[in-house]
Structure 1
Amino acid sequence: MTPAPAPPAASLRSRNFALFFAARAVAKLGDAMLPLALSAGLLQRGHGPGAIGAVLASLTVCLAGFVVFGGVFCDRLDTRALMIGADLVRVVTQAVLAGLFLGGHVVLWQVCAIGAVNGIAAGLFQPGVAGTIPRVAADVQGANGLIRTAESLALLLGPALAGLLVAAFSPGGVFAAHAGTYALSALCLALLRLPPDASGRRAARGGYRADLAEGWREFRARQWMWAVILVWMVYMITVAGPQVPLTAAEIIPSRGAGVYGLVNSALGAGTALGGLCALRYRPVRQLRAGAVALLGCCLFPAAVGAGLPTGSMMAGAAVSGTGLGFWGVMWATSVQTQVPGTVLNRIHAYEVAGSLAMMPVGQALAGPAAQLLGGRTVLLAGGAMVIVVSCALLGVPAIRDLRAVSAPPRAGGGTKARHEPARRGTSGGKST
């Protein structure tokens, strides 16, 4: 007889959490190798930052455009099955991409088309992440902190591993390894034994259009959420979008793919440190603390834009990663604990779509902006915009005054979640 699924465990050492943790870590390892492999592979074939930005934008546009529908599917269907299916689709697409690069027959539009398919698969996968974490761990902030740390360590190892594979084989070898990481992620998800979904999403409901409308109403009703997304759109256009293609174009031709991998590994190490800090520090006002930490993100684009030595660029990347990692945990925990489970996947889909909507714009504009102003100037401007974004987040009362809660509210406001006290030097009584 198959064992009954266990409820979310108080300890973060449970089997379910370990499997989900492994799935996220291994998939992120592959994702962390992708930018370097794409950048090196396209640059080797005579393409510039514009081509790199176009490929990344094709993935991001499809992710942002499809993720809202993915949220509805996750709220109506088997979330885990959808996530496994999305992983398997990406096993196939990355294997095809590996074949193209290994065979030496690389056409830009084909690479963009594969990126688009990957974006659609990611849009189907991503909404389920928010709804799954509360089902595998009772300590939501602790779970987010550990997952963020693992993903960050993957960002640390991924670029360095990709640099070694590119040097030893070719970018095609990186894409083959990437396909393998998605296969392992799908296996870990298949082994999960999730508890019954308390959200009641299997209950009879209206059509897909009604579900979309309900999710939008719930999203609009939370000022702290849509205000963050509006500010984040500016961040995506001015900082996150241009950062990958422009840092690659500035570092790889002059210092090599190995240095680019080291700098991005420092970024991953910093992000891991930010996740670890979030395990220990439990602020009452999570988004306020996250916005302050985000100020450190200005140092990475500024260091590359200023043409500083490699060690200085690595230090700037590490500080930037720490701020971004801490902010990421504070934001994810706020969404997963402030929103009822009945609409969590759809609201998460709306916030992901809003967060990413402007990133392809920044990616697509990176090349033209670099040609007009110079890549270093655009990166320096991005560093300044990080400060503007952080101050804008702190300037909205609904964001800076949002208080942490210990559990998601029930739909319809049936219960009130407890407010969390501020704690330092503790993991909230949960075993990690």
Structure 2
Amino acid sequence: MQTPPAPPRRLAWAGRNYRIQTAATVVSGLGNAGAPIATAFAVLAIGGSTTEIGYVTAARLMSLVLLLLVGGALADRLPRHRVMVASNVFNGLSQAVLAVLVLTGTARLWELVLLSAAGGAGQAFYGPAAEAMIMQTVSQEHASRAFSVYRMALNGAQIGGAALGGALTAAAGPGWVLAVDALSFLLAAGLRVLLTVEAPARPARSDGMVRELREGWREFASRRWLWVIVLQFSVMMACVSAVDAVYGPIVAEQRLGGARDWGIALAADGVGLVLAGLLMVRWRPRRILLVGNYGVFLFALPAAALAVAAPLPVLVAAMFLSGAGVTVFGVNWMIALQQEIPPDTMSRVSAYDAFGSLALAPLGTALAGPAAHALGLGGALWTCAGLTVLLGVLVLAEPQVRRLGRHATGPAATAGAVPAPAG
């Protein structure tokens, strides 16, 4: 008698590295989601104001931006999982020091700024390696499903992490939330040690990191759809960072229920992220960047809700829709990068993407306080919402953004697929 073949696993496309990286991302995401809430309220607890919150957030973003390109080049040189492990350990230790200072009531503003900058430095080395890692763990055929599931897992962790962070900050103080964040980084590092990835193949003769950064720049600059959207996000992320890190906590403190309500709003954002991920598992739009940019318009809703001092249920709805928009854009963006960028330059291109997208974010958070003083809190929020919508309209003027299509895969490629424009 012949033994019947074993039925195929439902997640046969999700290999070992994909599962480990997704699990580690969930673990660190649980801690990270509550850390911004805790940091903002730690600044308020030592007598800080909107301006001081902006300075602390800007320090993290500034170090992140300044070191991203180095992190991208390093991740294309070394085994990416080792870069991620080292970054996670560094972030875990820096957050542990910050937690001790806050818990003992000895934290000073300059210490918060310095440790926030340390956190951004760790993220600068982690981010490019992580993005390239998750893309190399799945085939293009399964990319839409894999990226959607990955983002759902991450965003599901953010739901629980934001809600827990807000509740724990309100009940026990921000120091304990920062301690949980430190532990989550160290646990994630332990998981990522289990990843099995070889170092990228390097040519026998190398002219060093500067030459490799130039190669990455050529890949980045040769694709108009890529740098146009990065320019859009450069301005837009300055606005979003100001709203999420500065204006949101201030409005919650002044007009809502403080950290608890802001945690609920952030959790609603996470619910939108997850439910949109369920949609993206099955939805395979042909014009990936056109559809992705439609999601960007929803990013303006939280700023508008905060500007009109909307009650908590309305703010929750706005955050939910914004989160859905993030997933719609994010999944399509990951697909575009995977199918258009050579794997051996993926970390460097991802670094240029993140560098450009976040370049103005430190300025946005640092100027959030002065802008609120000059325009009023409502005026600053309306400015953020208006710029987000305007940029979403302007980027659609670029034909490559409107026309870039999903590549057909396998022998069943359809004649009706929209061709991708030449780089």
In structure 2, give the amino acid aligned to 1:124. Answer: F
Q: Would the aligned equivalents of 2:46 and 2:108 in 1 still touch at CA under 8 Å?
A: no
Describe the superposition over 1:96-133 as per-residue Cα deviations: whole angstroms up to 9, x where unpaired: 00100001011111111111111111111111122212
Tell me the TM-score normalized by structure 2. Answer: 0.90
Residues 252/155 of structure 1: CA separation in 2 closer, same or farther (3 Å cut): farther
In structure 1, give the amino acid aligned to 2:186. Answer: A
Structure 1 alignment gaps of length 5 or more: 1-8, 408-417, 424-432
1:352-363 paired onto structure 2 within 5 Å: 352-363=354-365
Q: Could you tell me which residue of structure 2 aligns to residue 146 of structure 1?
A: 149
Match status 1:108 vs 2:135: no
Of stretches 395-404 and 381-390 in structure 1, the one that deviates more from structure 2 is: 381-390
Describe the superposition over 1:326-377 as per-residue Cα deviations: whole angstroms up to 9, x where unpaired: 1111112211221001211111111110111011111111100011111122
State the Cα distance separating 1:203 from its structure 2 match. 5.1
Q: Could you tell me which residue of structure 2 aligns to residue 286 of structure 1?
A: 288
Q: Could you tell me which residue of structure 1 aligns to residue 370 of structure 2?
A: 368
State the Cα distance separating 1:180 from its structure 2 match. 0.9
Q: Distance in 2 between matches of 1:396 and 1:389?
A: 12
Match status 1:162 vs 2:165: yes
Q: Distance in 2 between matches of 1:420 and 1:117?
A: 51
State the Cα distance separating 1:253 from its structure 2 match. 3.1
Q: Would the aligned equivalents of 1:283 and 1:421 in 2 still touch at CA under 8 Å?
A: no
In structure 2, give the amino acid aligned to 1:264. Answer: L
Q: Could you tell me which residue of structure 2 aligns to residue 428 of structure 1?
A: none
Q: Could you tell me which residue of structure 2 aligns to residue 191 of structure 1?
A: 194
1:20-419 paired onto structure 2 within 5 Å: 20-138=21-139, 139-194=142-197, 196=198, 200-201=201-202, 204-255=205-256, 256-405=258-407
Q: Distance in 2 between matches of 1:160 and 1:86?
A: 26
State the Cα distance separating 1:172 from its structure 2 match. 0.8
Residues 393/10 of structure 1: CA separation in 2 closer, same or farther (3 Å cut): farther
Q: Percent identity at matched positions?
A: 31
Q: Distance in 1 between matches of 2:241 and 2:390?
A: 14
Q: Would the aligned equivalents of 1:11 and 1:137 in 2 still touch at CA under 8 Å?
A: no
Of stretches 18-27 and 384-393 in structure 1, the one that deviates more from structure 2 is: 384-393
Q: Could you tell me which residue of structure 1 aligns to residue 421 of structure 2?
A: none
Residues 253/43 of structure 1: CA separation in 2 closer, same or farther (3 Å cut): farther
**Helix, strand or coil at the partner of 2:132:** helix
Structure 2 alignment gaps of length 5 or more: 1-9, 419-423
Residues 309/215 of structure 1: CA separation in 2 closer, same or farther (3 Å cut): same
Q: Would the aligned equivalents of 2:14 and 2:138 in 1 still touch at CA under 8 Å?
A: no
State the Cα distance separating 1:421 from its structure 2 match. 7.0
**Helix, strand or coil at the partner of 1:342:** helix
State the Cα distance separating 1:89 from its structure 2 match. 0.5
In structure 2, give the amino acid aligned to 1:342. Answer: D
Report the aligned-residue RMSD: 2.1
Q: Distance in 2 between matches of 1:66 and 1:219?
A: 18
State the Cα distance separating 1:259 from its structure 2 match. 0.8
**Helix, strand or coil at the partner of 1:311:** helix
**Helix, strand or coil at the partner of 2:388:** helix
Q: Distance in 1 between matches of 2:165 and 2:417?
A: 40
Q: Distance in 2 between matches of 1:72 and 1:328?
A: 23
Residues 242/311 of structure 1: CA separation in 2 closer, same or farther (3 Å cut): closer
Describe the superposition over 1:228-254 as per-residue Cα deviations: whole angstroms up to 9, x where unpaired: 111111212333334320011011233
**Helix, strand or coil at the partner of 2:344:** coil
Q: Distance in 2 between matches of 1:386 and 1:68?
A: 26
Q: Would the aligned equivalents of 1:304 and 1:379 in 2 still touch at CA under 8 Å?
A: yes
Q: Would the aligned equivalents of 1:10 and 1:137 in 2 still touch at CA under 8 Å?
A: no
Q: Where do 4+ consecutive residues of structure 1 move more than 6 Å?
A: 418-423
**Helix, strand or coil at the partner of 1:109:** helix
Tell me the TM-score normalized by structure 1. Answer: 0.89
State the Cα distance separating 1:393 from its structure 2 match. 2.1
